[in-house]
Structure 1
Amino acid sequence: MISVGEWQIFASSLKKRTIRIYPMYVIFTLITTGILIAIPSLFFSLKYSNSLLLSSLFFIPSQMDNGDVTLILAVAWTLSYEVVFYLIFAIAMIFPRRYGLALICVSLALWSISHTVYQGEYISEYFLSTLPLEFLFGVLLCSVFMHSENGLRVNKPLSYFLVLLSITSILTIPFNFPYDISEFRGNGRFIYFGIPSLILFLALFNTGRPKNPIVSTSIELIGNASYVTYLSHFLTIGVIKFIMKRIEIIQSIPLSIIVIFSCITCTTVGILVHIFVERKVLGFLNSRA
């Protein structure tokens, strides 16, 4: 029998994640919707409809005429998976820790192999993939973080080498892999991106917290702003492209410089949105939760 207190833990977990994720997602979805309605030519295959907006607000992707499966805020596609993960995680919190952890791991593993036993319409093809393995990697990282206060006992030079190796792998594989780019959105992505990312974070964890307070505070701020950076970078890059098309001198700048500038700009915009919008929205909602 599950007690009232355990159900309260379940409800509290979902409420916290909803407040953290949903309001900013809705804001950026509505901003993108406004742009889509006002200037539809800016979007390749996306066509506005009430059903598209409604399904997007519930993280349910829609299939476009050309076969693309997307939300209105296309870059937020991983949130469709994250919502399911949060539900699994909240259910697991009802049980004792070791059973809850086992439930999470088994659920994610079964979810990851489900595509091998069922193939249906676009919605099942979208959700049934190996992507949950990357959530499983996250659970592993959390476990290491909680139980290894002194790191992984790997010398720091090796840790820095692994950081460099994993970043190089993530940046170079898409440009050198001989197959179609769709491979990177398919069931092999946990190999191309998931494993290098796992190595990257494990290695970074082993390097320890930066001693310089400015560096440490900056990294923390970038991390806190990462969610709205993730939501806003699509719009930020759109503005950069819009400006580039209208100023000829910018078009002669090397692509590598444009990419670096875009990354810095997207990060800066994300931090500003976090400070002036997200903090206020979350503060308001948490004070009334």
Structure 2
Amino acid sequence: MTLYGIQYLRAFAALAVVVFHAAERSGYAFAIGAAGVDVFFVISGFIMWVIVARRPVSPGRFLADRIRRIVPVYWLATAVMVAGALAGLFPNLLLTAEHVAASLFFVPWRSPSSGEIWPVLVQGWTLNYEMFFYAVFAACLLLPARLRLPVMATVFLTLVGVGFAVESDNPLFLTYTRPIILEFVAGMLIGRLSLAGLVPNRPMSIALIGTALAGFAAIGILRLPFDEWTCGPLAIALVYGTVALEKHGRIARFRLPALLGDASYSIYLWHTFAISVAAKAGAMLGLPPPLVFVTSIAVGTLVGLCGYVLIERPAGKAGRAPKITTYSQAGR
């Protein structure tokens, strides 16, 4: 089953990240595009809840499905980064065996290049959160269905509380006590409410979507500071409103947005390579910044689509997970 509203949100969030990175490389500012990660985390919690509710699965099978969808393409993109660094194409990228291994196995680790808790492929930091969420979610599948959401909420709230109470520079501690993990729980709650038919009516659904988009726009236009405390509630409103609107049968299928939603993981993984090339080429050719900006967006999106058609989709045919599976693909 395909939820077109969710597909469109995936496309929206992925393109926001593309614009964010294109703006960075061409001298513009679109920091709010990085908030796509909040949307993706809420979507991920929602989709995982719906998948398991509709098709009960063992913890092992659940993890196998997630690994099959995430790992091969991510490892390939990481390998490209490593090969590029060894070839001298990324002079600012410092490699260590420990950092590469941590990147491949989704272990938060400080980058020797920047000191930030980033993998070799920087935008892969969100996948560290995803894999952690999947691991905890899989463990909760051993519980009765009625206890899964309360237990997940308790575990994640406890982690966030410990993060506020304890000082530590440990990368794992800093990563998995960050309040952003609560967005997964919010998505699960939306899934539970949706399956129970507890969604707002159509006018309220539209109001939630409009309020969320207006909030994101205000942050972007006014260049306000933002984090998960501001963007998390907006993302929750956007996803809940969209899910409710689709529940009322008000979201039709449109081919291009649906395709972009399908390709959002590949767009996320590959767009930065294309944007870097486009930005460097534009500078060498002396192109005006607006043209570099637009070209970078187009090339980044197109390369991501090619990655989906040529790599991700064929790789997924060997053992296909449910169509509505989603992953986090944004970078902040």
TM-score (norm 1): 0.79
Please point out which of 299, 307, 314 is paired with 1:280: 314
**How many Å separate the matches in 1 of 2:105 and 2:209?**
41
Q: Whole-Å Cα distance in 1 between the matches of residues 113 and 303 of structure 2?
A: 33
What is the TM-score normalised by the length of structure 2? 0.70
Q: What is residue 215 of structure 2 aligned with on the other side?
A: 166
Pairing partner for 2:188 from 117, 122, 139: 139
**Do the aligned partners of 2:208 and 2:241 also contact (CA within 8 Å) in 1?**
yes
- Going from structure 1 to structure 2, the CA distance change for 1:65 and 1:242 (only over 3 Å counts) comes to closer
Q: Which residue of 1 aligns with 2:299?
A: 265
Superimposed CA distance per residue, residues 38-70 of structure 1 (whole angstroms, 9 cap, x where no aligned partner): 125443xx3012222111111123322653222
Alpha carbons of 1:267 and 1:65: their partners in 2 closer, same or farther (altered >3 Å)? closer
Instruction: Name which of 80, 89, 104 aligns with 1:57.
Output: 104
Superimposed CA distance per residue, residues 221-255 of structure 1 (whole angstroms, 9 cap, x where no aligned partner): 2222111212112212212222122111x2x243x
Give % identity: 21
CA contact (8 A) 1:159 1:207 kept: no
Q: Structure 2 residue aligned with 1:39, among 81, 88, 100?
A: 88
Residue of structure 2 equivalent to 1:4: none
Q: 2:158 aligns with which of 110, 113, 117?
A: 110
Inter-partner Cα distance in structure 1 for 2:207 and 2:274: 36
Equivalence for 1:27:
76
Alpha carbons of structure 1 residues 125 and 140: separation in structure 2 relative to 1, 3 Å: same
Of 213, 230, 234, which residue of structure 1 is paired with 2:272?
A: 234
Aligned pairs, number? 261
Match of residue 238, structure 2, among 178, 183, 200: 200
Question: Computing the radius of gyration over CA atoms, which structure comes out larger, 1 or 2?
Answer: 1
1:257-285 CA-to-partner distances (Å, cap 9, x unmatched) read 65454344333322221122111111135
The Cα RMSD (Å) is 2.7
CA distance in 2, matches of 1:138, 1:198: 7
Task: Report the residue type matching 1:35 in the other structure.
Answer: G
SS of the residue aligned with 2:142? coil
Post-superposition offset of 1:86: 0.2
Does the C-alpha gap of structure 1 residues 85 and 284 become closer, same or farther in structure 2, counting only changes over 3 Å?
same
Deviation at 1:210, TM superposition (A): 6.2
2:59 matched to 1:10?
Answer: yes
Look up the match of 1:3.
Answer: none
Q: Is the 8 A contact 1:10 1:90 kept in 2?
A: yes
Change (3 A) 1:86 1:34: same
**Higher relative contact order at CA 8 Å, sep ≥6: structure 1 or structure 2?**
2
Give the letter for the 1:275 counterpart. V
Q: Is the 8 A contact 1:40 1:47 kept in 2?
A: no
Q: 2:115 aligns with which of 58, 67, 72?
A: 67
| Structure 1 segments unaligned to the other structure (5+ residues) | 1-7, 178-183
Residue 170 of structure 1 deviates from its aligned partner by 5.1
